[in-house]
Amino acid sequence: MRILVVGDGKVGHVLAEQLTQEAHDVVVIDEDEQVLQRTEDTLDVLCVRGNGANAKTLMNAGAAKADIIITATHSDEVNMLCCLIAKRLGTKYAIARIRDPEYNESLNILQQELGIDMAVNPDRGTAVEIGRLLRFPFATGIESFAKGRVEMVEFRAHEEDAIVNMPVHDINRKLRGIPQVLYAAVERDGDVHIPNGDFVILPGDKVHVSADMVTITAYFRYLGRDNMRIRNVLILGGSRTSFYLAKMIIPMGIHVSIMEIDEKKAEFLSELLPEANIICGDGTDQEMLEQEGLQNMDAFIALSNRDEENLMTGLFASRQGVPKVVVKNNHVSYLDLINDLGLDSIISPKTITCSNILRYVRARVNGGGTKVEKLYRLMNGKAEALEFIARLNDPYIGVPLRDLHIRPHTLVAVIVRRGKVFVPFGNDHIEAGDNVVIIACEAGISDLNEVIRR
């Protein structure tokens, strides 16, 4: 497909890189010549210098024959205007990044009037992810499928966990009463493994397990991981993400404190969030953090605009014994360092945004195929979890999985049928309307028929 990406920032560049890897014809539009030169030197894309909200620029970029335009500039208004003009010129689909909370209430109307097919809010999406982590504080990552019926939880295996140093096929046989979950993927020393029955989980492994919410909760209760409840949270930085997160978790009975160095922004937040404790001060000052009761917090969440500040304050909070530390980081190059330092819960707005957009793009690659409903990039993009809804006439319908050809390095993880969640085995089959979740150690899958064949 021909895809226009307006805005060559963090999100735009990563999207262009991923889309070219998936064999799309990508055009990148930006006004900054130096930024475009970097992209032209590193990616196989066409770069067009100019204002994406200018009809002439869009015409030069081929908007009349484009399949999708993705607008990711720093301005919500520019993003919306780009979509409007591109759709008028003939672009089939439009995706806009819209971040300002003021547009939330009227977002549906804006999408209808401006021809925006998908609106992406990185700040709200990030807040949702953090909210999930606060519900399961022991987890380093959580994804949900089938309208919340299935959850995939990432956690780091500890020496004292009953499941370590034991083949996967022995876990349910030897550990009486342990709820049955799927061991979907394991990351060890930077490598991703899809475990078979002989695979042995070791201390330090990052393990992904899947099941319905009740089973997942019971599983971690069995492991003794559910003994912590989040009651007090300290957030570094009064960003939009902080605002969205506070609005989500305050009704859950969680006391929220937000530390913001900018006096005007702190005053504004205190008006928007009267239930929260807004502190005007430097959140990177260790003495101030201690004065504000960091040691008594159940969770510390670093959401400043600087990844380096988030990393250092998150590390300090961890060393002070805060049970749950979440750090916002958009630098992929930092991830190995952060993991080595013991900070597991890393949130990347850039990754969340890109995953949502890639899901939408893949769903339109083949109009007649079984489309991607959800897509999560796991383990720093080394693996993907995808959800599909099986169609009536697909050739694998009704055939036992053992009689089908499953794509190498791919796992049919979970099937949801009429609200019931189960982990499939060789004798199980897929029926029309099933939600099917797969795990793949590769990118670019856009159709369930690419994974399962007769």
Domain count for the chain: 4
pLDDT (0 to 100) of residue 333: 65
Within 387-447, residue ranges assigned H as helices are: none
317 and 343 share one domain: yes
Helix H, strand E, coil C: the string for 317-334 is: HHHCCCCEEEEECCCHHH
**Angle CA 388–389–392, to nearest 5:** 135
Say whether both 253 and 342 belong to one domain.
yes
> Rounded CA gap, 205 and 187, in Å?
6
- Check residue 334 and give its pLDDT: 66
Residue 66 and residue 138 in one domain? no
In this structure, is residue 216 part of a structural domain?
yes
Spatial CA neighbour of 95 closest among 52, 55, 146, 48: 52
Beta bridge partners of 411: 439
**CATH number of domain containing 283:** 3.40.50.720
> How far apart (Å, rounded) are the C-alpha atoms in residues 427 and 406?
14
Establish if 362 belongs to a structural domain: no
Task: From 120, 135, 167, give the residue that closes a domain.
Answer: 120
Domain that holds residue 445: 367-453
The residue among 291, 319, 347 that closes a domain is 347
C-alpha 18 chain-centroid distance = 15
pLDDT at 225: 85
**Whether residues 237 and 182 fall in one domain:** no
CATH number of the CATH domain containing 185: 3.30.70.1450
309 shares a domain with 258 = yes
Mean pLDDT by 10 residues, the chain (454 residues): 94 93 94 94 95 95 96 95 96 94 86 93 92 86 85 92 95 93 91 92 94 90 86 95 95 94 94 95 91 93 92 92 92 68 82 87 71 80 88 92 92 91 90 93 86 88
Give yes or no: residues 247 and 199 share one domain.
no
CA distance 416 to 182: 14
Same domain, 409 and 386: yes
Tell which of 222, 252, 281 closes a domain. Answer: 222
Question: Does some domain include residue 330?
Answer: yes
Within-domain flag for 358 = no
8 in a domain, yes or no?
yes
In a domain, 131, yes or no: yes
Place of tokens 């990118």: 443
Check residue 257 and give its pLDDT.
Answer: 96
Q: What is the pLDDT of residue 142?
A: 87
∠ CA 301-134-293, nearest 5°, is 45
